[in-house]
A and B are shown apart, each in its own frame.
Chain A
Amino acid sequence: MTDSETPPPFRILPRLTDLNRDFWTGGEHGELRFLRCQDCGTRIHPPVSVCHKDHSKNVKADAVSGRATVATYTVNHQMWMPGPEVPYVVAIVEIEEDPTIRLTTNIVGCAPEDVYIGMPVEVVFEKQPDGDDAIWLPLFQPAAEKA
């Protein structure tokens, strides 16, 4: 979890739907969840109700480890709208279980200049806002050393 002392920055939040709810609220349980075809095991992102491999409609969300790799990133210096303090890192990460599934996200928990392509990262959730329609944004931080 992010530091509970610091209020999270303003962010434009996604509209929740039946299809994307597991992705955006899995963080309540500490889980990064993607839709997955229950017939062939293919993970589907962004969420749609049909598997692209076998067109099965038997899709359901399940959790991945939350580990990922930075595929690419940028240190953003421009204040486009209210949000995180600049400079901040926007990255595309590839999830460990299926690198063809990527997320655009922010890398937190380290200095922007310490981010690199190939960096191992792990999910950390930022809850926004408090209330019934809260979502848990999956951000990523440098992965803890493997035991």
Chain B
Amino acid sequence: MAAEMLEKKACITGIGQSEIGRRLYRDPLELTIDGCLAAVEDAGLQISDIDGLSTYPGMAIGNPGFSGASATEVHDALRLELNWFDSGIETSGQLGSVIKACIAVGAGLAKHVLCFRSVFEGSAQGAGGRQSIGSDGGSGFRASGPLSWTLPFAAPSAAIWIAMFAQKHFHEYGTTREQLAQIAINARKNAGLNPNAIYRDPMSMDDYFGARMISEPFCLFDCDVPCDGSTAFVVSHVDHAKDLRKPAIQVEAVGTALHGRPSWDQFDDLSTMATRDAGAHLWTRTDLTPADVDILEAYDGFSFLTLSWLEALGFCRPGEGGPFVEGGQRIARDGELPVNTHGGQLSAGRLHGHGFLHEACVQLRGEGGARQVEKQPEVAVAAAGGGNTCGCLLLTRR
């Protein structure tokens, strides 16, 4: 007998976000609680109904402000009584925590799992601009672990690491900056209709090419914008999702695979990434196909990652991401595959993967307001991550 696909027992019954801003200078735990309470309220549940908790990355080191709150802090602040909880950074991308919650409710470990992700990188990194990994090491600091292979070579940022993947893709397939620009311009256009987005002023191709270079081929507008904010979800077992406040969003399948080496520079194919394995994995767990998908909310910590997801998820063939986005019409809100309808992390802020899942739910519910895709989407993919850690979810209206 084939193994049961437990994620199909899960649905998303509540979504919530705190205030989101470039630099809020607010207590990150308070932001987290705001997001969590909003999600529970949205589901029409009480805190006492919550019996599971899941977050990414939990207590973690990294860039200043990388982890806004740990599972333990939220567990205690809300005095939750939990049957299952989990957090950690070694998982299938930033949405790995939500995927684990789906499996947990499918296995009967919990009925309603509260999932959250908080960042306060905007405030924590202050007005001094974006900080690199390891920048708080101080003098005499010596790097260990994976970073010890990149930091000594003045490569302390994912901008550099991912730029090298993009450059390889440009070299192999003739992808161009004009094509990459469409991902950033599309995001900005959509952000203009999202009152919670960070950058809402229109961006032209000239604006894009006028921006300063960060790491070739990435200019400033290929890089997302750090912000403060918390995003939360309630993941419920389908049997406990009836008669709640909002129509539940069904989890149809998840993709979690990583077959290549779990490494930025040792990954076998430098024109793809871990997106390749997670994307392919998703379609092994459903009868739906890429042709059934109405909208794609795909990670854009750097513009190239969205292009990588387009290929990994089979919306075009490997190497054809550039022509796919060329001109921008296909990925526009009124195009054949609307992409990053809230503005992505490039313009709506670096909520670290969870903003994409939030937007997929908003669109599937038809709650997008001015930015709602006109033909009501029935099927969506939310995908997060890049480099050596990726995960994705296929969602449907029930």
Interface residues of A (CB under 8 A from B): 9, 11-17, 20, 45-46, 71-78, 80-81, 83-84, 88, 90-92, 100-106, 117, 128, 135, 137, 139
Contact = CB atoms under 8 A, between A and B. Distances in A.
A35 to B, nearest CB: 14
Contacts of B150: 104
Given A12-B134, A73-B164, A78 B157 contact: yes
Given A73-B164, A77-B214, A14 B154 contact: no
Contacts of B143: 12-15
Given A103-B265, A137-B152, A74 B215 contact: yes
A135 B120 CA distance: 36
B266 interface: yes
A80 B213 contact: no
A10 B377 CA distance: 52
Contact of A84 (B132, B154, B264): B154
Contacts of A80: 131-132, 135, 154, 156-157
Contact of A11 (B152, B168, B216, B270): B152
Nearest to A88: B154
A104 B167 contact: no
Interface residues of B, number: 41
Contacts of B171: 72, 117
Nearest to B146: A46
Given A15-B142, A81-B132, A117-B168, A105 B153 contact: yes
B142 A12 contact: yes
Contacts, number: 120
Contact of B151 (A12, A45, A101, A128): A12
Interface string B133-166: 0110100011110101111111111011101110
B168 A106 contact: no
B398 to A, nearest CB: 44
B79 interface: no
A92 B148 contact: no
Interface in B161-218: 161, 163-165, 167-168, 171, 212-218
B135 A14 contact: no
Given A13-B142, A80-B132, A80-B135, A72 B270 contact: yes
Contacts of B134: 12, 81
B166 to A, nearest CB: 8
Given A78-B214, A90-B154, 20 more contacts: A9-B154, A12-B134, A12-B156, A14-B144, A14-B148, A16-B142, A72-B165, A72-B171, A74-B215, A75-B215, A75-B216, A76-B155, A77-B216, A78-B157, A80-B157, A84-B154, A104-B149, A106-B154, A117-B167, A117-B168
